[in-house]
Structure 1
Amino acid sequence: MKLYIKNMVCNRCILVIENLFKEAGFHVIKTELGEVEIKEELNPEQINLIESNLKPIGFKLIEEKKAQIIEKIKTSIIKLIHHSEEGIKINLSSYLSNQVNYDYNYISNLFSETEGKSIEKYYITQKIEKAKELLVYDELSLSQIADKLNYSSVAHLSSQFKKITGLTPTHFRKIKEKKRNSLDNL
């Protein structure tokens, strides 16, 4: 039985969910962002138990089909941007259609109606979050970050970054540096 879970965004989430199901006595077949597959079929009492165990740690079972599709879109984008070593140089609509197994026009309309923003805006927001993370690490130049996130230029990255954060990437990096203390000054 496959269950869809809201708010899974990282590998730690996968471990937490897997452990929660195992501790509850279920046999986990596979766990990935947004879903867990278990051997057992669940009765309503077991579903309630799982829901009550998920809620305190910030997760939620998703039972409605459209909500499951939305969560699959989000986790597919998160995987692509935050967890893919290959980079994000792909066609987003084709990628999402393959991941979600629905026509892109359908999922695009569903996402916009449900979330109040387009898939593209969600995708850009996630790219900017990844850019912020990379800027804080201070290991890559702006040019390398733009390339890693598949921007055509540093100017394009900077423009989207400023539109979303209100800051240029350079200013963002400087602010983060000022707030950080070196370890020997702690």
Structure 2
Amino acid sequence: MKLYIKYMVSLRCKMMVKEELISLGLHYVVVDLGMIEILEDISPDQRLQLKTNLMKSGLELLDDKKSILIEKIKNLIVEMIHYTDELPKVNYSDYISEKLGYDYTYLANIFSEVKGITIQQFIILHKIERVKELLIYDELNLTEISYKLHYSSVAHLSNQFKKITGLTPTFYKQLKNKRKANLEDL
């Protein structure tokens, strides 16, 4: 039996969900971002208990099909940008459509209707968060980051970064270095 969980976007969330399933005596096959698969059918009492316990941790057990589909889209994007080393070589729209088995226009319309932003805007926001993360780690330069995240150029990445954050990537990186220097002065 598959269940879908909203706001499940990190490895820590996965560990928490696994612990919750074990505490309810449920045996899981898969615990993935936004989705769990358990061996047995879940009783209404177990479902309610799971839903209540997940809510305490800021997670939400999903019931309706639109919410489940939107969570699948969000989790696919988060996984694609944050947890894989290589982004797909095809268009994001083709990738998402292929992975979920729906026409992209249908997915885009539902996503926009419910979330209030387009799938493309959601992808850009997550790519910028990934750029911030990579800048802070300081393992890659801007050219390598733009290549890794499939930007057409460093200029394109920089323009998009500034549009979203109000800062240039270089200035953002300098802020991090200044904060670190300030902490060392304490």
TM range (shorter): over 0.9
After superposition, the C-alpha distances for 1:16-66 in whole angstroms (9 at most, x for unaligned) are: 211210121001011110000011212322111001110111111011100
Which deviations, in whole Å up to 9, do the C-alpha atoms of 1:43-91 show, x marking residues without a partner? Answer: 3221110011101111110111000000000000001000012234331
Displaced runs of 4 or more, over 4 A: 181-186
- The residue type equivalent to 1:100 in the other structure is L
Mapping of residues 1-186 of structure 1, within 5 Å = 1-181=1-181
AA matched with 1:102 = Y
Helix, strand or coil: the match of 1:180? helix
Aligned pair in 2 of structure 1 residues 28, 85: CA closer, same or farther (>3 Å)?
same
Tell me how far apart the structure 2 counterparts of residues 147 and 120 of structure 1 sit (CA, whole Å).
19
Q: Which runs of 5+ in 1 are unaligned?
A: none
Counterpart-to-counterpart distance in 2, 1:165 and 1:184: 26
Q: CA RMSD in A?
A: 1.5
Are 1:88 and 1:148, in contact at CA under 8 Å, matched by a contact in 2? no
Identity across aligned pairs (percent)? Answer: 47
Deviation at 1:93, TM superposition (A): 1.0
- Normalized against structure 1, the TM-score is what? 0.95
What is the TM-score with the length of structure 2 in the denominator?
Answer: 0.95
**Residue correspondences, number:** 186
